[in-house]
């Protein structure tokens, strides 16, 4: 069936089986590979993207529910020239190792910062529950706090 | 390690017709293949020297001058998160006197002949390529200067590298201009490499070269690879331990939407469809037939993995410990570790296209050459006709030291005549992993009247790590007996003990076990270093002082003492708990890199909380101290995950759990909020980094938990929830 939504600010209509997980539509139909497949059961968070600003694990989210929604992936979060505060902080803290889980973590972190401007350690522990096998959690925590500072300074300057 | 000279014979330069580029390469084989294999393997295990076996005609490092006046270094080693591409760029930039922005590091494709004869693993990349890359880069610099001197008609001595160009101060040539039109290169004798003190990038914490790709979502991984006209293949995998494939009824799958073909082979069945979800839906309709001899349980495995069963090999012996340990007053303790999964987030993946007698495979693998050979053998084509294109790995951890998925994808592609992408489902990853084998460790010691260790014995029973791996020649098992991966960390590092021995018990398990980052190190060090704390208590001594008393006064011993002293000073180590927080200490040496660690632990009810870890490591020269620290941080967190939470078990003949969550792993809330890493440099050359810090993690935590609770936990995982 035909399903229309906005992805990274661009309107898009796809013709796919309505139960297809959004992840595969994003990756294989729309060709945006930044959103990753890890487990297919919403257990690892590698496929996290935003639907109307909420962090969603897209491997277990049927595309039909995206009808009319605003979908944002890591490619739409920010660019090298104009990075999202989370991406800027990720670069400054040199967070990634293998890098595979990182888009999911950055999307989850960006969603957290949109709700909680100054997350505490407990906020981070309770909301950032993706899995990273390289063990970059220590730098991610620092990066999330740095991103909060960047975001808050931008807000106060604008 | 002394300076090693490379002769011109081992240096290869060629100009590719039409490309306008200079390729220059260096064969490492003469450099390292001189030793007999056994000596190499022993050096690898005991001293941390990297083994490479290869043939003289296959160069392993290549530079290419590209059209944009930059250099590409083709790496035979893959980037799986360890940061080696960054370190290689630093080394090359310093010798070439080029800014790092002029040097790109890329994976070498197997079709270029630029092949690592071993694998990416064993913490060998930087320590193995350090000297060869310096020599290659210095030689290339001199070749470029000599050619520039000829073109500008000035003496070589008047030239220098500046802003990516070669200049005499008034006139300059880009790299492209230098190499343009050269038909034959004169390769000079390898020049002396610069002294490390002259380097401006080596030794500095420069940012990772792959940082932007990884932060902005570039499609760099094997999972992101595509080929035009590509289909999706879904392979049916077994769910039961020891299952043999006996065929399948595929009739229900064949008419499913999107299905192009069902491929039934002797050893597997797969379905090919237009989309991934169609392939998976059709795969569910296949009815495979499996044959199993018995329904295994965890209890069966634990009984097999018990010291006294299997085949024993003495791997270390000093004096006559057996006689002393047969007397009264011997202290004994035993420890266990469970089956561990690699659990890397990117599944095994390959995209293959077979056209006639040619095969192209884009994929994530740690073993490019072996995978190439496997694909060639299965298809019955020449190895040179198989081009493995390595992608960035979404985690390796040893889990991709066997990548037969390339062969499956190639067979499927051949059957449909189109490119096919294959990757496993998560349940299949968990049930068909090449697991970290379970272990049983029994330690015995006798103390003297003044509380020193008179004699000590370590018995370790383990499933296979190295044996059975396609990476190693089969005769090695016959030559060595004991599994060199299983004993990693199993030798007693306290050489001042008068009488000691270590015995490795080899057990063949009914499921695949293999290389898991650091091999036996995590479990064996958990046992040995927990035991050292237990012995120190028996002796009434401070655990750190007790260890220091038993370390030999040679170079390795001095480096080990160095990290122990550094970590105890920095952490303010105390042998008691304060305000609900206790410190636990442990140390290990792996591949010649000593690591000492202090974990500060508290209990939240029955939950273990690792609040802070202080770690001192001496890997020799840290080419990129920031990324060396990142490896230490990663090892600490992976070690917490493995030692405190992770456990596979076998129930009704099935390996379980089959998904993250039930397979409990460290998450953000389990990671220490403070990690303090101290890097020492007890050697002028870079040593092993990516695995050694895993060693002490389990024991440091267990020792802290004992101090807090009075309870000595001798089984991994340490978390009570699973006890």
Q: What is the pLDDT of residues A28-67, one digit of tens each?
A: 999 999 999 999 999 999 999 999 999 999 999 999 999 9
Contact of A22 with A55, CB cutoff 8 Å: no
Nearest CA in chain B to A35: B217
Residue B41 CB neighbours (<10 A)? 19
CA distance B464 to B481: 11
Residues of B in contact with A131 (CB under 8 A): 343, 345, 660, 665, 667
Taking CA atoms, B331 is separated from A24, B318, B328, B448, in Å, by 58, 19, 9, 12
State the ipTM, two decimals.
0.98
Q: Is A39 on the interface with B (CB under 8 A)?
A: yes
Relative to beta strand B11-15, strand B22-26 is antiparallel
CB pair distance less than 8 Å for B394 and A124: no
The residue whose two tokens read 């030291």 is B401
So what's the pLDDT on residue B36?
41
At B631, list the tokens: 């490896």
Q: Is A75 on the interface with B (CB under 8 A)?
A: yes
So what's the pLDDT on residue A158?
60
The answer, as to whether pTM is greater than 0.90, is: yes
Interface with chain A: mutation pick from B233, B258, B345, B631, highest number of A CBs within 10 Å: B345
Q: Which residues contact B501 (CB under 8 A, 6 or more apart)?
A: B314, B316, B317, B318, B321, B322, B457, B458, B492
CA distance A11 to B566: 59
Q: Which of A34, A94, A138 sits opposite B208 (nearest CB)?
A: A94
CA distance B250 to B235: 12
Question: Which residues are bridge partners to B234 per DSSP?
Answer: B271
Residues of B in contact with A98 (CB under 8 A): 80-81, 344, 346, 392-396
So what's the pLDDT on residue B48?
44
Residues of B in contact with A22 (CB under 8 A): none
Contact of B410 with B227, CB cutoff 8 Å: no
CA distance B601 to B609: 6
What 3-state DSSP class applies to B651? strand
Q: Which of B275, B627, B660 sits opposite A44 (nearest CB)?
A: B660
Positions of chain B with pLDDT under 50? 1-4, 17-20, 29-58, 721-723
Nearest CA in chain B to A93: B207
Q: Which residues contact B561 (CB under 8 A, 6 or more apart)?
A: B548, B551
Q: Is A24 on the interface with B (CB under 8 A)?
A: yes
Nearest CA in chain B to A49: B217
So what's the pLDDT on residue B461?
98
| Alpha helix (H) residue ranges in B183-237 | 211-215
Taking CA atoms, B112 is separated from B25, B63, B351, in Å, by 11, 12, 19
CA distance B679 to B701: 21
Distance from CA of A70 to the nearest CA of B (A): 19
Burial B514-533 (b: 16+ CB within 10 A, else e): bbbbbbbbbbbbbbbbbbbb
CB pair distance less than 8 Å for A99 and B660: no
CB pair distance less than 8 Å for A98 and B395: yes
**Helix (H) or strand (E) run with residue B592 in it:** none
Taking CA atoms, A141 is separated from A68, A123, B296, B610, in Å, by 34, 11, 42, 15
CB pair distance less than 8 Å for B211 and A135: no
CA distance B370 to A69: 47
Q: Which of B220, B665, B669 sits opposite A131 (nearest CB)?
A: B665
So what's the pLDDT on residue B34?
30
What is the mean pLDDT, run by run of 10 residues, along chain A of 158 residues? 97 97 98 98 98 98 98 98 98 98 98 98 98 98 98 83
Q: Dihedral sign for Cα B620, B625, B631, B636, please.
A: positive
CA distance B123 to B691: 6
CB pair distance less than 8 Å for B212 and A96: no
So what's the pLDDT on residue B653?
96
- Through-space distance between the first and last CA atoms of chain B, rounded to whole angstroms: 47
So what's the pLDDT on residue B184?
77
What 8-state DSSP symbol labels residue B187? Answer: -
Q: Which residues contact B25 (CB under 8 A, 6 or more apart)?
A: B11, B12, B13, B59, B60, B61, B62, B63, B114, B136
Calculate the average pLDDT of chain A.
Answer: 97
At A122, list the tokens: 């407990």
Q: Read off the pLDDT of residues B340-374 as tens digits, 9 standing for 90 and up.
A: 999 999 999 999 999 999 999 999 999 999 999 99
So what's the pLDDT on residue B13?
63
């Amino acid at each position: 069936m035909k399903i229309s939504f906005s992805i990274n600010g661009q309107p898009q209509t796809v013709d796919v089986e309505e139960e297809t997980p959004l992840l595969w539509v994003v990756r294989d139909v729309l060709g945006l590979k930044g959103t990753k497949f890890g487990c297919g059961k919403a257990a690892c968070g590698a496929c996290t993207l935003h639907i109307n600003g909420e962090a969603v694990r897209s491997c277990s989210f049927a595309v039909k529910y995206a009808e009319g929604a605003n979908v944002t992936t890591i490619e739409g979060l920010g660019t090298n020239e104009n990075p999202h505060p989370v991406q800027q902080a990720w670069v400054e803290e040199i967070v990634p190792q293998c890098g595979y889980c990182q888009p999911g973590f950055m999307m989850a972190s960006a969603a957290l910062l949109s709700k909680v401007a100054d997350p505490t350690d407990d906020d981070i522990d309770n909301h950032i529950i993706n899995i990273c096998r390289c063990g970059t959690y220590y730098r991610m925590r620092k990066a999330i706090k740095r991103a909060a500072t960047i975001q808050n300074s931008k807000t106060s300057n604008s | 390690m002394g300076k090693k000279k490379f002769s011109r014979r081992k240096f290869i330069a060629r100009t590719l017709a039409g490309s306008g580029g200079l390729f220059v390469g260096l064969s490492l084989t003469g450099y390292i293949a001189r030793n007999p294999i056994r000596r190499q393997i022993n050096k690898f295990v005991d001293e941390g020297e990297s083994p490479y076996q290869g043939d003289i005609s296959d160069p392993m490092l290549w530079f290419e001058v590209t059209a944009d006046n930059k250099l590409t270094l083709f790496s035979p080693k893959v980037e799986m998160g360890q940061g080696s591409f960054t370190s290689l760029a630093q080394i090359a930039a310093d010798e070439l006197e080029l800014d790092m922005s002029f040097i790109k590091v890329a994976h070498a494709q197997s079709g270029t002949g630029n092949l690592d004869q071993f694998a990416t693993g064993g913490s060998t990349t930087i320590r193995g390529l350090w000297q060869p890359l310096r020599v290659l880069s210095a030689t290339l610099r001199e070749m470029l200067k000599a050619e520039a001197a000829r073109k500008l008609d000035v003496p070589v001595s008047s030239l220098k590298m500046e802003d990516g160009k070669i200049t005499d101060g008034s006139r300059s040539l880009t790299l492209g201009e230098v190499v343009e039109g050269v038909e034959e290169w004169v390769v000079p004798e390898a020049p002396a490499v610069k002294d490390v003190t002259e380097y401006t990038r080596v030794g500095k914490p420069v940012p990772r070269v792959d940082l932007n790709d990884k932060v902005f979502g570039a499609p760099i991984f094997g999972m992101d690879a595509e080929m035009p006209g590509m289909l999706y293949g879904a392979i049916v995998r077994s769910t039961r331990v020891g299952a043999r494939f006996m065929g399948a009824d595929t009739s229900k799958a064949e008419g499913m939407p999107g299905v192009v073909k069902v491929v039934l082979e002797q050893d597997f069945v797969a379905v090919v469809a237009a989309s991934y979800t169609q392939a998976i839906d059709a795969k569910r309709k296949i009815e495979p037939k499996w044959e199993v001899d018995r329904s295994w349980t965890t209890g069966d495995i634990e009984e097999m993995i018990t010291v006294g069963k299997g085949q024993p090999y003495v791997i270390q012996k000093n004096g006559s410990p057996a006689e002393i340990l047969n007397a009264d007053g011997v202290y004994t303790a035993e420890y266990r570790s469970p089956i561990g999964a690699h659990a890397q987030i990117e599944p095994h993946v390959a995209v293959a296209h077979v056209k006639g007698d040619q095969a192209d495979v884009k994929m994530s693998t740690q073993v490019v050459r072996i995978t190439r050979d496997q694909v060639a053998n299965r298809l019955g084509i020449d190895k040179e006709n198989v081009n493995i294109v390595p992608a960035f790995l979404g985690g390796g951890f040893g889990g991709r030291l066997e990548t037969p998925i390339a062969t499956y994808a190639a067979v499927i592609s051949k059957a449909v005549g189109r490119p096919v992408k294959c990757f496993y489902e998560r349940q299949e990853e968990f049930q068909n992993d090449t697991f970290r084998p379970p272990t049983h460790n029994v330690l015995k010691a006798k103390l003297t009247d003044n509380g020193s260790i008179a004699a000590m014995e370590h018995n370790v029973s383990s499933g296979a790590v190295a044996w059975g791996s396609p990476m190693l020649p089969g005769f090695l098992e016959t030559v060595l007996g004991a599994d060199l991966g299983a004993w990693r960390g199993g030798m007693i590092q306290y050489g001042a003990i008068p009488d000691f021995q270590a015995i490795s018990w080899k057990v063949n398990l009914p499921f695949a076990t293999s290389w898991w980052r650091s091999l036996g190190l995590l479990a064996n060090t958990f046992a040995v270093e927990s035991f050292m704390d237990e012995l120190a208590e028996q002796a009434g001594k401070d655990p750190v002082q007790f260890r220091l008393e038993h370390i030999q006064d040679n170079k390795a011993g001095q480096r080990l003492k160095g990290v122990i002293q550094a970590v105890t000073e920095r952490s303010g180590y105390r042998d008691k708990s304060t305000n609900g927080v206790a410190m636990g200490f442990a140390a290990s040496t792996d591949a010649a890199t000593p690591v000492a660690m202090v974990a500060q632990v508290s209990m939240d009810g029955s939950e273990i909380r690792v609040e802070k870890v202080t770690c001192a490591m001496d890997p020799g020269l840290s080419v990129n101290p920031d990324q060396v620290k990142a490896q230490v941080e990663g090892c600490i967190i992976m070690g917490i995950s493995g030692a405190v939470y992770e456990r596979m078990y076998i129930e009704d003949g099935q390996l379980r759990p089959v998904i993250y969550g039930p397979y409990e792993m460290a998450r953000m809330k389990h990671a220490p909020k403070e990690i303090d890493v101290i890097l020492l440099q007890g050697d002028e050359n870079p040593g092993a980094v990516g695995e050694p810090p895993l060693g002490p993690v389990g024991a440091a935590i267990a020792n802290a938990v004992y101090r807090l609770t009075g309870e000595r936990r001798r089984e991994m995982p340490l978390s009570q929830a699973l006890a």
